[in-house]
Amino acid sequence: MNHLIAPSILAADFANLQRDLEMLDKSEADWIHVDIMDGMFVPNISFGFPVMSAARKYTSKPFDVHLMIVEPDRYLKAFKDAGADRITVHYEACPHLHRTVQAIKELGCKAGVALNPHTPVTLLQDIIADLDLVLIMSVNPGFGGQKFIENTYKKLNDIKELSLQKNPNLMIEVDGGVDQHNITKLVDAGANVFVAGSAVFSSANPPATISNLKYPEKLLQS
Ligand code: DX5
Ligand code: ZN
């Protein structure tokens, strides 16, 4: 399977969100990454349910919702109702992670767990079999456009090894500082879903950038 590209609408032009969503809908993007920040778990506030529900009208692509919020259990159903297909919560925000993962699945969504850059992959060994996805943060969550943290490659190797032992179907997503220069190395390290915010929306031609991220081998040849 080729890897998947999930552009983050955090980097979209919010005053032209319909235009940007329609662009993503026509592009080779696989999922739409939706970054929810509460100003508590992370030092920034992004957007909430009304924006998500409005966005849902302009694309049929899956919404990959990344919850950077405290107490996510309180809002899982509301995110499902606002159009989430996949919900990823942070390990660091969930004292009862097993319960939270089951609640996401009971809503009919795919369940993911995100790890901050300092959180070791080994902490997932007793939950990994229950997960659809692990999201490895390659920047500290809270803002787009940050510098990629190099230790991510080692963490991807670790999670890939754990998934081969305990959950071979696990999807492994990388989020933060992904671009056309590091994506091939990240694929080689074990990731198969790539979030890209500024790399897509700051480029002159976002659909072409998405295509280049999806098929980097074509770029190397050209
Ligand atoms: C950061 C978010 C990311 C962000 C990525 O907290 O989780 O999804 O949008 O942005 P870039 O690709 O610009 O690093
Ligand atoms: Zn994200």
35 is catalytic: yes
| Residue 85, domain CATH | 3.20.20.70
Q: Which tokens belong to 6?
A: 């999930």
The pLDDT value recorded for residue 218 is: 87
The mean pLDDT value of the chain amounts to: 97
Q: Which residues line ligand 1 (CB under 6 A)?
A: 8, 10-11, 33, 35, 66, 139, 141-146, 175-178, 195-199
221 pLDDT above the threshold of 70: no
Decide which of 1 and 55 is more confident: 55
Model pLDDT for residues 78-104, shown as the tens digit of each residue: 999 999 999 999 999 999 999 999 999
Neighbours of ion ligand 2 (CB under 5 A): 35, 66, 175
Choice from 40, 195, 198 to test ligand 1 binding pocket (greatest atom count within 8 A of CB)? 195
Assign 193 to helix, strand or coil: strand
Task: Kindly state the helix (H) or strand (E) to which residue 7 belongs, with its residue range.
Answer: strand 4-7
pLDDT (average), residues 3-26: 98
pLDDT (average), residues 181-187: 98
Non-local CB neighbours of 203 within 8 Å, separated by 6+ positions: 209
Model pLDDT for residues 119-154, shown as the tens digit of each residue: 999 999 999 999 999 999 999 999 999 999 999 999
Model pLDDT for residues 185-217, shown as the tens digit of each residue: 999 999 999 999 999 999 999 999 999 999 998
Active-site residue among 20, 30, 35, 64?
Answer: 35
Beta carbons of 27 and 210 less than 8 angstroms apart: yes
Q: What is the extent of the structural domain holding 173?
A: 4-221
220 pLDDT above the threshold of 90: no
111 pLDDT above the threshold of 60: yes
219 pLDDT above the threshold of 60: yes
- Strands (E) in 12-144, as ranges, are 32-37, 63-68, 86-90, 110-115, 133-137
Q: Which amino acid is at 99?
A: R
pTM above 0.85, yes or no: yes
Residue of the CA atom closest to atom 4 of ligand 1:
144
The pLDDT value recorded for residue 1 is: 72
Ligand 1, residue 148: give the atom nearest the CA: 14
Ligand 1, residue 140: give the atom nearest the CA: 6
Choice from 89, 143, 173 to test ligand 1 binding pocket (greatest atom count within 8 A of CB)? 143
pLDDT (average), residues 52-66: 98
Task: Count the domains in the chain.
Answer: 1
How confident is residue 174, by pLDDT bands cut at 50, 70 and 90? very high
Instruction: Beginning with the edge strand found earlier in the chain, give each strand of the sheet holding 4-7 in spatial order.
Output: 4-7, 193-196, 171-175, 133-137, 110-115, 86-90, 63-68, 32-37
222 pLDDT above the threshold of 60: no
